[in-house]
Amino acid sequence: MDHGSVDSTFEEAFPFSDEELSAMALAAEPITALDADAMPWGGGDARTPSLLPNWYMPSPSYHVKGRWTRAVVITLIVGFLVIDAFGLCITSGFISFA
């Protein structure tokens, strides 16, 4: 089965060359004023501050299920630390000497 060459597939997916896109961008009218009812893309005061915009990587959301989830997580972490403290390895799922 012939899927065509990479160049032909690329040309079909992107019908404009870089030079044509640059010329169209330079010929376009710049937006000098925003509409009165323009809304910001994604933000607001309800969002937690972060280094990345919300549309790129939203803040993690989770629901606290109860005290037992915290106990399970703490137990797992302490278990791994104890295994590591004794110089053992559990990478393959079985406890062995490191």
Domain boundaries, the chain: 6-97
Residue pLDDT, tens place only, 15-48: 788 899 899 989 988 877 888 887 766 555 555 6
Distance between CA atoms of residues 39 and 35, nearest Å:
9
**When comparing pLDDT for 93 and 89, which is higher?**
89
DSSP 37: T
- Please give the radius of gyration of the chain, using alpha carbons only, rounded to the nearest integer: 27
